[in-house]
Amino acid sequence: MIDFSYTAWILLLPIFLFIVIGLLGNRFKPIVSGIVGTSGLFIIWLLSLVTAYKYFFVLEKAADGSFLKFMAFNMRWLNLTDKLHIDMGVLLDPISVMMLIVITTVSLMVHLYSIGYMHGEKGFSRFFALLSLFSFSMLGLVVATNIFQMYVFWELVGVSSYLLIGFYYTKDSAVAASKKAFIVTRFADLGFLIGILMLSYVTGTFDFITLTGPDSPALTSGQGVWFLGLSTMTWSMIFVFMGGAGKSAMFPLHIWLPDAMEGPTPVSALIHAATMVVAGVYLVARLFPIYVFSAPVALDIVMWVGAFSSIFAAIIACTQYDIKRVLAYSTISQIGLMMFGLGVSGYGGHEGLGYMASMFHLFTHAFFKALLFLGAGAIIHAVHSNYMNDMGGLHKNLPITHATFLIACLAIAGVPPLAGFFSKDEILAAGSERSLLLYWVEMIVSGLTAFYMFRLYFSIFWGKKQEYHQTPHEAPKTMTIPLMILALGALLAGLIPFSNFVTSDRLPFVSHLDMGIAIPAVLVGLTGIVVAAFFYLKETDIPDKVFKALGSFSQAAFHKFYIDELYLFITKKIIFNYISRPVAWFDRHIVDGAMNGLAYITNETSDRIKKLQSGQLQQYALVFISGALLLVLLFVYLWTS
């Protein structure tokens, strides 16, 4: 058995970096913070790589050939009672090790990229400090040994996300977006917390290894019908999924993610594309055995929500003009796909194909979506606009960005042999075994994905020639190098035989490409690309015509199906009017009234009695002497026992 306890440093280093940069960052030149943060993260990245190598290749496996799932490090943090204690530690199993790689790689790239992108910004050190805080929270989340540790880091992730979205805190829209993100995810986390409490109440443990092990208390307890015909366990898992859906921006809690694009672009790449938003997927994957065996209804909900979110967001993505928003909706769509993959999956072996595919897609998606965001950042950096209407014909000005962006687009569109092809194909394969309807829905989603990505690509790099105030120029090396590295990842990540490493029961199996699914999927993707090329390669009026032909549907899609308006309606019109107003009235008139009344009475009384204090010595003396005499009378004559 190899000693893995050094993995605690993967957690401790980023928080150390956060403290150092946060406290001392302003003492030095801003670039020092960048270098310290990036090199610190480089060390963490190396540690993660070593851990992954040792875990997958050196560490001996269990008797049945599966990967071990064990605590590399554990510490009792809050010792409430003998039974109830909250631990902090590092749990190693295939998905947490995979997430370590994903997070540290993307985070390292983003750190490097940010040195160039954020150059000269006010708050450069603060930015790096917050990136470190985020890395800490996210790493803590994925290696959590128990569900409560996960919750703690989950909230920390929410906080750092809030701080980073609101990085430009002088901008009203950024402040509003950060508040929105925080409140929406917080609301969802309420569900998560309820879920945790129910789950731990029923099973009597927080521990992941116990919960997901073969003799988990979750399998036997809480199975009785509790509410609306569903068992306690099912409800608790639904609540837990609510938290996951909030963080992962699943319909209908997705509204914060597009607004979160107000943050700096590297942040969007790191948090809102590659790492934090997949926390929900990770959460479901972490508790997957419970979902499969104890709460299949909850798993169905995961499937439906995932499928609906993916098609819903894909349609919206086709109509948006802000390139970061297109990417945001694309992210929602892709995460929906991952959720769908988990939802259709069974447990063990080939049954667990969906699980494996989902994790695989999470892995590949992190690369190409981070790449897309960073590319978008480079483009915005060059053009100083977020809107694709302001762009066009950039392929000559930005050759490296162009090439890497194209790779990412091809990868997400599922063109073989790039990363997205393999993972998406596996998800579709898993879906086809479960539900034919949803299989075709996802097929359409992959077509739409190809379409909107290439719509983006063509409008930015080809299309009409645009007049620019100053000729856009390629970004500096610190920005292009991460782009190239991530492009390499997007090219090659799909070739990893993922089913050898990450599976639902940790037993490797061999997965094959199912040509019956791969070929139609590729064809659909290519169709999307061709249609996009047809629409946007040259400047034409076809898109407008199509847009008009679809009438109210496209209008609705353009307005994001009025979900934001619906929320506003519910909150402003219904909650404010019928709940908040009466509560506020009660607070102002009854609660405050009681307080004011007390103050008023005190004031009045004192006004009355302060005249007693006349400053007239003889009056005081009179009162004093009469009082003394009365006391004498009382104690000497009246109160004689």
Which of 195, 277, 183 is closest to 242 using CA atoms?
195
Q: Which span (148-156, 457-465, 504-512, 626-634) binds other proteins, by CB under 8 A?
A: 626-634
User: Please, which residue, 566 or 629, has the CB nearer to other proteins?
Assistant: 629
**Cβ(252)–Cβ(563) under 8 Å?**
yes
How far is the C-alpha of 261 from the C-alpha of 253, rounded, in Å?
16
User: Please, which residue, 579 or 623, has the CB nearer to other proteins?
Assistant: 623
Q: Helix and strand tally (H, E) in the chain?
A: 27, 4
How far is the C-alpha of 150 from the C-alpha of 618, rounded, in Å?
75
How far is the C-alpha of 525 from the C-alpha of 540, rounded, in Å?
22
Contact track, other proteins, 606-625, x by CB under 8 A: ----x--xxxxxx--xx--x
Tell me how many degrees the CA angle 432-436-440 measures, rounded to the nearest 5.
Answer: 90
The distance of closest approach from Cβ of residue 617 to other proteins in the complex, given in angstroms and rounded to an integer, is 5
User: Please, which residue, 465 or 608, has the CB nearer to other proteins?
Assistant: 608
383 membership: H or E segment, kind and range: helix 353-383
User: Please, which residue, 197 or 630, has the CB nearer to other proteins?
Assistant: 630
The distance of closest approach from Cβ of residue 637 to other proteins in the complex, given in angstroms and rounded to an integer, is 8
Amino acid letter, residue 310: S
User: Please, which residue, 80 or 617, has the CB nearer to other proteins?
Assistant: 617
The distance of closest approach from Cβ of residue 638 to other proteins in the complex, given in angstroms and rounded to an integer, is 12
User: Please, which residue, 510 or 636, has the CB nearer to other proteins?
Assistant: 636
User: Please, which residue, 595 or 633, has the CB nearer to other proteins?
Assistant: 633
How far is the C-alpha of 306 from the C-alpha of 343, rounded, in Å?
8
Q: Which span (332-340, 453-461, 482-490, 632-640) binds other proteins, by CB under 8 A?
A: 632-640
User: Please, which residue, 590 or 632, has the CB nearer to other proteins?
Assistant: 632
User: Please, which residue, 220 or 619, has the CB nearer to other proteins?
Assistant: 619
The distance of closest approach from Cβ of residue 596 to other proteins in the complex, given in angstroms and rounded to an integer, is 24
Backbone angles phi, psi at 112, to 5 degrees: -60, -45
Buried b (16+ CB within 10 A) or exposed e, 394-413: bbebbebbbbbbbbbbbbbb
Amino acid letter, residue 404: T
The distance of closest approach from Cβ of residue 156 to other proteins in the complex, given in angstroms and rounded to an integer, is 55
The distance of closest approach from Cβ of residue 597 to other proteins in the complex, given in angstroms and rounded to an integer, is 25
Residues 276-305 that bind other proteins (CB under 8 A): none
Q: Which span (235-243, 333-341, 371-379, 631-639) binds other proteins, by CB under 8 A?
A: 631-639
How far is the C-alpha of 17 from the C-alpha of 11, rounded, in Å?
11
User: Please, which residue, 555 or 614, has the CB nearer to other proteins?
Assistant: 614
User: Please, which residue, 78 or 621, has the CB nearer to other proteins?
Assistant: 621
- % helix, strand, coil for the chain, step of 5: 75, 5, 20
How far is the C-alpha of 284 from the C-alpha of 282, rounded, in Å?
5
Buried b (16+ CB within 10 A) or exposed e, 431-458: bbbbbeebbebbbebbbbbbbbbbbbbb
Q: Across 218-319, where does the E strand assignment appear?
A: 225-227, 230-231
The distance of closest approach from Cβ of residue 602 to other proteins in the complex, given in angstroms and rounded to an integer, is 16
Which of 225, 523, 590, 632 lies at the binding interface for other proteins (CB under 8 A)?
A: 632
Contact track, other proteins, 558-597, x by CB under 8 A: ----------------------------------------
Which of 31, 84, 437, 629 lies at the binding interface for other proteins (CB under 8 A)?
A: 629
**Cβ(303)–Cβ(438) under 8 Å?**
yes
Contact track, other proteins, 76-95, x by CB under 8 A: --------------------
The distance of closest approach from Cβ of residue 161 to other proteins in the complex, given in angstroms and rounded to an integer, is 56
Contact track, other proteins, 430-469, x by CB under 8 A: ----------------------------------------
User: Please, which residue, 566 or 630, has the CB nearer to other proteins?
Assistant: 630
User: Please, which residue, 550 or 625, has the CB nearer to other proteins?
Assistant: 625
How far is the C-alpha of 288 from the C-alpha of 296, rounded, in Å?
10
Residue 26: C-alpha distances to residues 15, 34, 123, 164, 167 (Å): 18, 12, 9, 18, 16
The distance of closest approach from Cβ of residue 604 to other proteins in the complex, given in angstroms and rounded to an integer, is 17
Which of 53, 603, 633, 635 lies at the binding interface for other proteins (CB under 8 A)?
A: 633
The distance of closest approach from Cβ of residue 635 to other proteins in the complex, given in angstroms and rounded to an integer, is 11
Q: Across 162-205, where does the E strand assignment appear?
A: none
Amino acid letter, residue 360: F
Dihedral sign for Cα atoms in the order 486, 492, 494, 500: negative
The distance of closest approach from Cβ of residue 601 to other proteins in the complex, given in angstroms and rounded to an integer, is 20
**Cβ(501)–Cβ(432) under 8 Å?**
no
Residue that has been written with the tokens 């948090």 in this structure:
271
Q: Which span (107-115, 308-316, 548-556, 629-637) binds other proteins, by CB under 8 A?
A: 629-637
User: Please, which residue, 225 or 622, has the CB nearer to other proteins?
Assistant: 622
89 membership: H or E segment, kind and range: strand 85-92
- Residue 329: count of CB within 10 angstroms of its CB: 26
The distance of closest approach from Cβ of residue 621 to other proteins in the complex, given in angstroms and rounded to an integer, is 6
The distance of closest approach from Cβ of residue 616 to other proteins in the complex, given in angstroms and rounded to an integer, is 6
**Cβ(196)–Cβ(182) under 8 Å?**
no
How far is the C-alpha of 170 from the C-alpha of 216, rounded, in Å?
50
DSSP state of 230: E
Size of the site for other proteins (CB under 8 A): 15
User: Please, which residue, 23 or 628, has the CB nearer to other proteins?
Assistant: 628
Q: Which span (360-368, 393-401, 588-596, 628-636) binds other proteins, by CB under 8 A?
A: 628-636
The distance of closest approach from Cβ of residue 628 to other proteins in the complex, given in angstroms and rounded to an integer, is 8
The distance of closest approach from Cβ of residue 157 to other proteins in the complex, given in angstroms and rounded to an integer, is 58
Residues 386-415 that bind other proteins (CB under 8 A): none
Which of 497, 357, 503, 513 is closest to 65 using CA atoms?
503
| 634 near other proteins, rule: CB under 8 A | no
How far is the C-alpha of 268 from the C-alpha of 325, rounded, in Å?
10
> Can you give the binding site for other proteins, defined by CB under 8 A?
610, 613-618, 621-622, 625-626, 629, 632-633, 636
